[in-house]
Amino acid sequence: GAGLLAGPDAGWLATHDLYMECKVVLPNDANRTFIFGLKGGNPFTDGNNAIAWRVLGSGNFIGVCDSGGTETPRDSTVLPDGAAVHRLRIEILAAGTIVRFFRNGAQVGDDVTTNIPTAGMQAQAGIHNEATATDYHAHVADFTGARRGV
């Protein structure tokens, strides 16, 4: 947990909890990748080392902790439909040892305590069209906050 973030923020989560929240409407599109959260590597693509919400192709909203390719997912069982507004929240608690995923105020699955990456990550939010290799940059982050004293 202490090295979770990259760059000058490395070690910051050792003494803080992190909350990230967005509000998004997504079409059901078989060519789309949506990512919101913390992730290492290429932006707006699925990959290793992530604490994020994602939608791959025409799949569900899934909260995922991925450490080096080994995942602990939390499936909301909800498909994007292009009309409904979804409020997605991620809570990273206890020096990066507990992760919680929320959709529209309700926790999705149990607390995640496994496969929480310790490699450097950065905040990412975006949509990528796999058919045209086009990134759609969108303002989806409504709120990011921290609380000291975990």
Q: Which of 85-89, 94-98, 109-113, 120-124 has the highest mean pLDDT?
A: 109-113
pLDDT category at 71 given cuts 50, 70, 90 is very high
pLDDT above 70 (res 8) = no
The model's pLDDT over 76-88, given as tens digits with 9 standing for 90+, comes to: 999 998 888 899 9
pLDDT at 146: 57
pLDDT at 79: 93
Q: Mean pLDDT across the stretch 117-141? A: 69
For residue 33, give Cα distances in angstroms to 84, 133, 135.
18, 10, 9
Burial class (CB in 10 A: 0-12, 13-18, 19+), 7: exposed
pLDDT at 143: 56
Q: Which residue has the higher pLDDT, 75 or 95?
A: 75
